[in-house]
Amino acid sequence: MPDLNDIVSQKKPILLRLLKNNLVTGLLIVIPILVTLWVGWWSISIMTDWAVHLLRRYEPELANKTSVIIVFRLLTLTVLAMVIFLIGLLAKVTVGKQLIHLAQKLLLKLPILSIVYSTCQQIGETVKTQQGGLFKQVVLFEYPRKGSWAIGFITSFNEQEFEVTEHFKNGVYSIFMPTTPNPTSGFLFYVPKEDCILLDMSAGDAMKLIVSGGVVLPGTKLEEKE
């Protein structure tokens, strides 16, 4: 008759492995949800904090109620959406185009702010006019040393020459390499065409690969392993 202690000791690794697998699977499900909710709340806070400050200044009694703050933030977002919608309509009218053009000229003449505005405007126009969006193709290139490879996005094939491309004989790609797991920051590289490997995967699949640290492969989903 088998000893009870032997049975328990044999099942112990199985239980630990099961606990580990379920814990990892749970974290991979919960963490993206929490990060998404945090980013959403952070974005809402940035857009509505000014309105909440005004409410606390002029109606401090109402500002002490959490439900009132939430409703007030939602109303602020609604008003902002309506204002943006009206600006879009105004931009299609002749008078509106003239006013917007005048405001743009004024912003472009302001020191420091003109750099920020012109950069944002160029990025917006690029995303709007180019069919492939800002990221044209996914690419592999050697970084940070010979023999190790990083994944990035071609933002420009640099078909028109400028000061940087003049130093490369066979052409160069502009490549944005996002950081892991936060893809909102990254680095800009100019890499010779012959040193790049163009990939067929979509920008969305490549971004999942980067954010997950290589866990989520293109065309696959995270599945619970038994």
Phi-psi region of 148 (alpha: psi -120 to 50; beta: other; left: phi over 0): beta
- Domain closes at, from 77, 112, 129: 129
Whether the CA torsion 73, 74, 75, 80 is positive or negative: it is positive
Is 77 a member of any domain?
A: yes
In a domain? residue 216: no
Q: Is 63 inside a domain boundary?
A: yes
Whole-number mean pLDDT of the chain? 81
Q: Find the angle CA(79)-CA(39)-CA(20) to the nearest 5 degrees.
A: 150
In a domain, 85, yes or no: yes
Judge contact between 39 and 72, C-beta under 8 A. no
Structural domain contains residue 175: yes
Q: Please give the average per-residue pLDDT across 21-38, as a whole number.
A: 83
Q: Does residue 205 sit within a domain?
A: yes
Query: Are both 113 and 143 inside the same structural domain?
Result: no
What is the pLDDT at residue 142? 95
Report the C-alpha gap between 132 and 30 in whole angstroms. 32
Report H helices in 59-93. Answer: 60-63, 66-90
Q: Environment class of residue 210 by beta-carbon count within 10 Å: exposed (0-12), middle (13-18) or buried (19+)?
A: buried
- Write out pLDDT tens, residues 195-210: 999 999 988 888 888 8
Average pLDDT score over residue span 112-117: 79
Beta-carbon contacts of 85 under 8 Å, excluding residues fewer than 6 positions away, are none
pLDDT (average), residues 92-104: 79
Residue 51 has pLDDT above 60, yes or no: yes
Residues 67 and 104 in one domain: no
Cα 22 vs. chain centroid, distance in angstroms?
29
Final residue of a structural domain among 129, 148, 181? 129
Q: What's the total number of domains in the chain?
A: 3
Same domain, 118 and 144: no
In a domain, 204, yes or no: yes
**Domain extent for 10:** 1-90
Task: Report how far Cα 16 is from the mean position of its chain's Cα atoms.
Answer: 36
